[in-house]
Structure formats: structure tokens, C-alpha cells
Amino acid sequence: MNMTEPFTIAVDGPAAAGKGTISKAVAEHFGFAHLDTGLLYRAVGAKYLLGMDPAAAARALTAGDIEGSNLRGPEVAQAASKVAVVSEVRAALLDFQRSFARRAGGAVLDGRDIGTVICPQAEAKLFITARAEVRAQRRFSELVASGSMTSPEQVLADVRERDARDQNRAESPLKPAPDAMVIDTSDMSIKEAIHAAIAAVRSRR
């Protein structure tokens, strides 16, 4: 599906559902550029943890800020979810995301409100989800592998807290776009989930 005209694939879903891995694989399959929009909010969240005003941090964000190795920890993830409810932060990051989405050659963006707010006219929309318990176990395994000291119960509590905040925020709440293809990865292997996502995109061509 290589092309010179823009073709946007919007991928949304809650934390640890697999949307990042799936989005990267879909982008690679079709030869599209990929943007993990969550990194934008994580970069703002990291600056917020250092005492910077989140709106000011968003306005001053550079491409280099989303390449930091310090953006994957649970503390930054929670901070990202908190700053994402600030309307000034979302507004500051909107143009960056929309410009990326319409680049020539195609683009895959994954996040929380890509299909509903950032790119409502995207040619293909996916909503990747999984049961909270499954997502918590996946995240717990990642944290253990990275050496973090936590418990399955704490990770599940964090997942549910973040879900509630993302789904119930007044601006750009997490929800599937009306025309999104919903893929529940709870009982899928990653290979099966990627195959389902690629098939869903092809059905939109």
C-alpha cells in the first residue's frame, strides 16, 4: 500500500492493550510512518514531574524530547495521563499530530483520541482493547522484566485508575470512533492481533 497520497490509520485504545506493538507492525507492513502520540504526553509529563507548567512544556516540545529513554516508567505514564486532561496541553499538540497524519506516503498514529478528535477523517480507524486484568498482567510482566518493584494488585489498580481518568475526562475521552474496527486482544497472540489489524486496514482500501 505504498503511495504518495496521504492515508491515515488511527489506532486508539487503553494502556497495555497492544496498540503500540500493533501500530508499529502495521506501519512496517504498509511502509508508513509511525507516531506513538503517547510519547508526546509522556514527554510533557516528564517535564511536569520536574516542576514545569504542563501547558508551557507542551508548547516548547521538540522532536528530541520524545526520544528520551526516561519516558517509559510508570511514574511518567501516570503524569502523562494527568497532563493529558489539560485542554491547553491537548491544543498545543494538536497541530503536530495532524500534520504528521497527513504526510505523503501514509501514517499510523496511535493514542487515545486519534480517531475521534485528532484525525476524525482518517481512512482507517482501529480500537485495540483487552480486559483490564489481562492488560495489568502484561504491564506487570514488563515492569518485572525491567527490574521494577511492584505487585500485580498495584498494577491492576493503576490500570483501572488510568482507565477511569482517560474514559471520564471532559475533553477527548477515550472511546472508539463510531466507524472504528474494534479488536479485543485479550485472547489473541500478538501475531493474531497484528494479522487482524492488517486485515481491518485492507478492508478500508
- What pLDDT, on a 0 to 100 scale, did the predictor assign at position 160? 95
Tell me whether residue 120 is annotated as binding.
Answer: no
Within a domain: residue 2? no
Residue 3 lies in a domain: no
Rounded Cα–Cα distance for residues 34 and 9 (Å): 9
| Residue 105, annotated as binding a ligand | no
Model pLDDT for residues 7-66, shown as the tens digit of each residue = 999 999 998 999 999 999 999 999 999 999 989 999 999 999 999 999 999 999 887 888
- What pLDDT does residue 3 have? 57
116 marked as part of a ligand binding site? no
Q: Is residue 128 part of a domain?
A: yes
Position 123 pLDDT exceeds 90: yes
Q: What is the strand order of the sheet 107-111 is part of? A: 33-36, 107-111, 8-12, 124-129, 181-184
For residues 36 and 71, give the distance between their C-alpha atoms in angstroms, rounded to a whole number. 12
Q: How many residues does the chain have?
A: 205
Task: Tell which wins on pLDDT, 62 or 190.
Answer: 190
190: cell is: 500478538
Contact partners, residue 148, CB within 8 Å, separation at least 6: 73, 74
The DSSP H or E segment spanning 99 is helix 87-101
Number of domains in the chain: 1
User: What is the mean pLDDT of the segment spanning 93-116?
Assistant: 93
Residue 20, marked binder: yes
* 16 has binding-site annotation: yes
Whether residue 1 lies inside any domain: the answer is no
- Let me know if residue 100 belongs to a domain: yes
Domain encompassing residue 179:
8-203
pTM of the model: 0.85
Q: What are phi and psi of 2, to 5 degrees?
A: -65, 140
Over range 106-116, report the average pLDDT: 95
Residue 178 annotated in ligand binding: no
Question: Binding site annotation covers 19?
Answer: yes
15 is in an annotated binding site: yes
Tell whether the model's pLDDT for residue 124 goes beyond 60. yes
What pLDDT score was predicted for residue 12?
A: 97
| pLDDT number for residue 62 | 85
* Nearby residues of 189 by Cβ (< 8 Å), 6 or more positions away: none
Q: What percent of the chain has pLDDT over 70?
A: 98
- pLDDT tier at 77, thresholds 50, 70, 90: confident
pLDDT, mean over the chain:
92
Distance (Å, rounded) from C-alpha 159 to C-alpha 133?
A: 9
Q: Give the three-class secondary structure for 144.
A: helix
Task: Reply yes or no on whether the pLDDT at 69 is more than 80.
Answer: no
